[in-house]
A and B are shown apart, each in its own frame.
Chain A
Amino acid sequence: MATPQREIPATSPYSRPFYKWLDRLAPIGLALFMMAVFVDYSWWMLKSPTHIATWRSLIFFAIWIPTTLFYVIMAIKDIAQNWNGRWEFAGPKARNPLADTVGAQKAEMQRDFFRSVTGKRYDLTQNAFFRWLFHRRWYQFAAQLPNVIIFNIVIIAGLVGVVNPNRNFATVITWYVWFGVLFVLMIGVGRAWCLICPFSAQAEWVQRLGLFGKGKKLFTRGLKWPQKYSTLLISVFFFLGLTWAEEFYNIAGPGKPAFTSMLVAGIIIWDLFYALTFERRSFCHYGCPLNGVIGVVSAVAPFEGFRAKDRTLCKTCTTKECMKGSNRSYGCGWYEYPGSMSSNFYCGLTGECFKGCPYENIGLSVHAPLKEAYQPKKKRFDLAVGVTLMMGALFFEIVNATPQYAAFDNWLSHVTGWVAIAKALDGQLSGYPNPLDYMGIILLFPLFGWIIANVGSWISRGQIKARELFTRYSYGWIPLFGLGILARQLPKVLTNGPTIAQVISDPFGFGWNMFGTADMNMHARSFAYHWILFVQLSLVIIGAVASIVVNQKISQLDFRGRPGARAINVLMNGTIVFLMVLLLGGYYYIALINPGHPLAPPF
């Protein structure tokens, strides 16, 4: 059950004065960094001769000054509280002797549920540095602050910057860099994006009235999220809505950067509303459009999130600081309990449980990838439906690049009168894509999964229910979806990504040169387009192989010895191969009809 543990020293190796001062000075350094960025931008803004005393600089200062003031005042408050080492960890409590008797017995009774702790793992918190880092209150704040600054500049750049999307910080950062980095982070670490997410960071700072300190009172109404709407599907529907809106308003480029900044600001305000109304991180669970995607794709990552090292101890713990909070930490914002976590879907890596646990019983392990997708005993129906819906969204993004779809969509929009509605919304919009065929394409995939599950149920002569087959085998779609959607983002990221060099020096397109890279002209298209298709195809093939591995494991763990299990396994692997062929064909066809591509026909 429990992994072999080294003895944890009673005192931290980082309790010497040097580290105490490091602990004090790190937040000060971050606050100074924030001030430095503000001063630098203001200086360049005041220096540009043409734009001062216009509405542009008004917007600039109206956003920068209050946000910087808020961060700096909050930081000073927290630094003052932190000064005398209030959060210094005194060392772990003695182990409860009941853990070896009652706790072990209870954990043994749930052996089947806790099957996810098997296999080789390396616990990062065995390393003294990581232990020290995760105990710091400013651990998450240090990760969030740079991102918060970047996304504040995104909002400002979208509003005041030039309209050319390739010269505007907002479009380049959000759609060319962020969307690529996001998927790499998901597949590499899991919810690393949620750790550094600037949207919920700002909302949480307001909710807690502090940047990284542990306050006593919260600034929120703290309502409970209604039970009826406690499902992942809400966030999946928001994701589908966002994808549609992004295509409809052509936000992702080349579109108006103002739309990007409105989208980002809208998400922040929406998040703030949730944070002030509901408890903890309800937004991240039930409002964030990316929650479904990030949670699902995290299963591919080799990190298992903060989790109890020894569950027997948690079984006898009555205080549960990880969930309730202590004088050094808040309770988990993500509604997770390290003592019974079996997947990393919902671990936001905030490290509050690590700070809270009086027994030092929380670890952050690295293990073989894909484990989180097949090992959980409790697989969820809403998550399964979400995966199939998102697979539909991925296929829509491929299909919408073809001329056949464009013609069909145009015809449908004229027949249904959608064009007139779109024109009424904004004169420049063409009404593309039509929501009817958008939803039609997406709904095909849950339907497909459901039909396959019914066939599987028929193979087992009704012994295994279709709902169970659908729920468990949909987890096998996860790697294919994760790598497939990364492949979809790659061309945009790789061909336009290098423009970041110019944009960093000249974020608003006013002709600044902050870092001397404004004139670096990298012709990314020339080096990206030859091989990009092959990278895409190999990603899809890797995803499909991973999916088949997951399917095999699911068959072994969940269906071994049940009627028709082998035939169902073959059927499910066939489904993955079919989806892979569809994806490969889609990417190849898009590349083929792209006039600049070497594989395209010469006419």
Chain B
Amino acid sequence: MATIAIVNHERCVGCELCTRACGVTHAIQLDLERNWVEVSEELCWACGACERMCPFSAIALPPWAEPNKELRDSIYAKNRKPKKSRVVAQAEEIGEEEEEEMLVGRSQ
């Protein structure tokens, strides 16, 4: 079983501060019916941001937990937009310069 943050359902009041804190992988979601948060096992990389944010210490990592950076990077890689290739980027830059020159030329 993956090491993830554990929610104390007796204490959790559904304020969603931890949901906001979990900004990298968005592993925490509010259970609308019960008004407590649930942590996704696939997305939680045990960074501990939620634990530091929770005012009532209702969410906590087990003491042995360490940030799973590989998981974070893999999720990050999956979610971010495809990177432009170098050639395309250079071409765009050149195009912008030409445009600028043209604009400058016009104004003159």
Contact = CB atoms under 8 A, between A and B. Distances in A.
Interface of A: 109-110, 112-113, 224-225, 227, 230-231, 279, 315, 318, 320, 323-324, 331, 335-337, 339-342, 377-378, 380, 382
Nearest to B56: A335
B13 interface: yes
B57 A340 contact: no
CB-CB nearest 10 A-B residue pairs: A337-B13, A323-B55, A224-B57, A230-B10, A227-B8, A335-B56, A324-B55, A340-B14, A337-B15, A110-B32
A336 B57 contact: no
Interface string B2-24: 00001010110111110010000
B6 A227 contact: yes
A230 B10 CA distance: 7
Interface in B1-58: 6, 8, 10-11, 13-17, 20, 32-35, 55-58
8 contacts: A113-B33, A227-B6, A315-B16, A331-B55, A340-B13, A340-B15, A340-B35, A377-B35
A341 B34 CA distance: 12
Contact of B60 (A113, A224, A279): A224
Main secondary structure of the interface of A (DSSP, over half): loop
A337 B8 contact: no
Contacts of B16: 315
B15 A320 contact: yes
A335 B16 CA distance: 15
Nearest to B10: A230
Contacts, number: 57
Contact of B57 (A279, A339, A342): A279
Contacts of B11: 227, 230, 335
A338 to B, nearest CB: 9
A544 B11 CA distance: 32
Contact of B32 (A109, A227, A339): A109
A110 B55 contact: no
Contacts of B10: 230-231, 380, 382
Given A227-B6, A227-B60, A340-B15, A378 B32 contact: no
B6 A323 contact: no
Contacts of B56: 323, 335, 337
Interface of B: 6, 8, 10-11, 13-17, 20, 32-35, 55-58, 60
B33 A112 contact: yes
A378 B33 CA distance: 8
Contacts of B55: 320, 323-324, 331
A377 B11 CA distance: 16
A385 to B, nearest CB: 13
A291 to B, nearest CB: 13
Given A227-B8, A323-B13, 20 more contacts: A113-B35, A227-B6, A227-B60, A230-B8, A230-B10, A230-B11, A231-B10, A315-B16, A318-B17, A323-B15, A324-B55, A335-B13, A335-B56, A336-B13, A337-B56, A339-B13, A340-B14, A340-B35, A377-B33, A378-B34
A231 B58 CA distance: 13
A113 B13 CA distance: 12
Contacts of A331: 55
A320 B18 CA distance: 12
Contacts of A315: 16
Nearest to A335: B56
Contacts of A377: 33, 35
Given A227-B8, A227-B60, A320 B35 contact: no
A96 to B, nearest CB: 14
Contacts of A378: 34-35
A582 to B, nearest CB: 32
A590 to B, nearest CB: 38
Given A110-B35, A113-B32, A337-B13, A318 B60 contact: no
B84 to A, nearest CB: 33
Nearest to B17: A320
Nearest to B34: A378
A336 B56 CA distance: 9
Contacts of A324: 55
B22 to A, nearest CB: 14
Nearest to A230: B10
A339 B16 CA distance: 11
Given A110-B32, A230-B10, A339 B20 contact: no
Contacts of A318: 17, 20
B15 to A, nearest CB: 5
B93 to A, nearest CB: 38
Contacts of B13: 323, 335-337, 339-341
A377 B33 CA distance: 8
A339 B30 CA distance: 14
